[in-house]
Amino acid sequence: MKHLIFTALFWLSLFSTAQAQQLKSPDAALVMGFSLQNDGTPTYTLKYKNKEVIKTSKLGLELKNDKKSLLNDFTIIDTKATSFDENWKPVWGEVAEIRNHYNELAVTLNQKGTDRQVVIRFRLFNDGLGFRYEFPSQKNLTYFVIKEERTQFAMTGDHTAYWIPGDYDTQEYDYTTSKLSEIRGLAEKAKTANVSQTSFSTTGVQTSLMLKTNDGIYINLHEAALINYSCMHLNLDDKNMVFESWLTPDAIGDKGNMQAPNHSPWRTIMVSDDARDILASKITLNLNDPCKIEDTSWIKPVKYIGVWWEMITGKSSWAYTDDFPTVQLGVSDFSKAKPNGKHGANNTNVKKYIDFAAANGFDGVLVEGWNEGWEDWFGHSKDYVFDFVTPYPDFDVKGIEAYAKSKGVKMIMHHETSGSVRNYERHMDKAYQFMKDNGYDAVKSGYVGSIIENGGNHYNQFMINHYQYAVEKAADYKIMVNAHEAVRPTGICRTYPNLIGNEAARGTEYQSFGGSKPNHVTLLPFTRLIGGPMDYTPGIFEMDLTKLNPDNHSHVNSTLANQLALYVTMYSPLQMAADLPENYNRFLDAFQFIKDVAIDWSESKYLEAEPGQYITAARKAKGTNNWFIGNVNGETPRTSNIKFDFLEKGKKYTATIYADAKDAHYKTNPQAYMIRKVTVTNKSKLSQLSAPGGGYAVSIIEIKK
């Protein structure tokens, strides 16, 4: 139920003069100041527990082909302050109910000489600040082009940053931990090593950006509700330690085509002296609109397996044949094509995965490489376009769907766009209808390679609109979407909860391309997951990939216990058991945790957390009294100490602990684990070793009397 509160106490939290305002969070720990400089430039500051965390920072937008930008010469013509408090229930999530509680200040500015108006709206929560630019309907500002947004985030010192470089096309980097002053030098080295990355910046970083001050304040910079606007990166002035927004351009360098009335996405600043608060924050979701799908009964969390890891590792292939001449001018004739013998999406192999899913209680099976065209795209044409409805000769769409249905398993579709988004949009209705006709309720979409249209990058306004269009169109067909290589999420899953997952970061697949840093999974929840769940595809049990493909010499930099813990620490309603069935059959006692772990939660507690080092999370399965714990560890071995005081008083539980063995190590002994069972209550404690790149997982099942 919604509650709008206007109290004397709140009004005391707002101090106003002709040029300056002050807004406090509901608990008064955060204080935001707004003022105009002498030249009419809008600025803001932010304090946390009387400590400055954002110094005086400028606000505004530079316009293209305009005599005057929206940067200065403003006067304040109106201010409105409100307080808001509600509880809302997500369709799926880390918790069953979310509190949305903030104090708000809307400042209306009028620009001298142009008579243009801009509203800057601030919302201050107990755990951070959100603000955005709003452009009301007005005669002097209707159509305009953004040359650059000039939003600043002025840091108070040379903080520690956990960052990936600015890039218009990918977020698939390992994170670097450094001082702000070191970013330029380290990024220049990275660019030298990645000369093909033409959109790579040596002074820019991507959001969500995690920071830590020398006195232990955690700061996170991101954006929320990215709709009809370019994705924001941050450019660093490392002499003054000031970040400035840096929007993704289109082919001619424009950063956004706007028509009033309209508004920007929210710019978010999370702040706390406890890292666990950053992980638990719901600011990003709260700054998005409520759900727009009236009937959400068809949106279900999914635990799945799939014909994918064997392709990523090179054990099998997406393409049915290597014989390109069978496909010419969009006309396919595979009757004389010679199968390459490695095609993974064949009927026999897919049925093996369906059988395994059915035997172990999984909801779905994802099949990639089922449709024609992969041999063309991989082998010859960078601009190949798929039609999303034509299967290879060895994949019987209707037969497989009927077989899966008989086993109680749903099939998950795969749509690789190959970067041709206009082609995908032309085929979208037909493709989605094909899915529904054949029993598919979820799709994994892909955007591998350069975007063919409108500038060739993944994060400009054109592409943001495409991703949104795909999600909304899918909702019309009651289809859930898991978008890979798309823009990083910004909480839109609140409004459209059929957006059940995204990749948008360096996922498990990179363990097959040379590996990721062992502390990578201790950083993703502080960065990528701030905006929404990730289809990270965990659950790898065989770390030596030469055993799958003799030509693949990569090593998965994780212990087996760490892989189990990811199902809890890497929150997602879409969880894949990514390894091959035969590898799970070798470790059935450990695989039991993947079978048991829930994917939808009523409560979540972050018990321990330090970015880049460790995370321990506990979650209560929705509709039960059972809990699951996951701990992931970085490079340094440590002993995790936790309490079970979140359990219900007076009840007993059986805790099954899946942990690293004493000699476990992500590189030298990753499959060394031990399993033990103990009885616990809310007074119990656990002291558990976590190996380098390791961790532990615990299932806590109520003992029924």
Q: Is 520 exposed, middle or buried (0-12, 13-18, 19+ CB in 10 A)?
A: buried
Helix (H/G/I), strand (E/B), else coil: 109:
strand
The neighbour count for residue 11, using CB atoms within 10 Å, is 12
N residues, the chain: 705
DSSP string, 610-666: ETTTEEEEEEEETTSS-EEEEEEE-SS-EEEEEE-TTSPTT--EEEEEEEE-TT-BT
**Contact predicate 231/487, CB 8 Å:** yes
How far is C-alpha 371 from the chain's CA centre?
28
Helix (H/G/I), strand (E/B), else coil: 360:
helix
Structure tokens at 370: 């089922």
H-state helical runs in 70-207:
183-193
> What's 703's DSSP letter?
-
- Calpha distance 550→547 (Å, rounded): 6
Helix (H/G/I), strand (E/B), else coil: 92:
coil
- Calpha distance 314→271 (Å, rounded): 44
Structure tokens at 306: 């799939």
**Contact predicate 309/259, CB 8 Å:** no
Q: Could you tell me the sign of the dihedral formed by the alpha carbons of 446, 448, 454, 457, in that order?
A: positive
**Contact predicate 233/445, CB 8 Å:** no
- Calpha distance 26→30 (Å, rounded): 8
Structure tokens at 22: 């002050």
Structure tokens at 69: 């930008």
**Contact predicate 307/366, CB 8 Å:** yes
Rg for the chain (alpha carbons), in Å? Answer: 26
The neighbour count for residue 648, using CB atoms within 10 Å, is 13
**Contact predicate 512/549, CB 8 Å:** no
- Those residues whose C-beta lies under 8 Å from the C-beta of residue 556, and which sit 6 or more positions away, are 508, 511, 512, 515, 540, 542, 543, 545, 670
Active-site positions? 509
Helix (H/G/I), strand (E/B), else coil: 530:
helix
- Calpha distance 95→88 (Å, rounded): 10
**Residue in 280, 273, 313, 691 with CA at minimum distance from that of residue 519:** 691
Half-sphere exposure of 515 (CA within 13 A, CB side): 16
DSSP string, 244-304: EEEEPP-TTS--EEEESSEEPPEEEEEEESSHHHHHH--HHHHTSPPP--S--TT---EEE
> What's 321's DSSP letter?
B
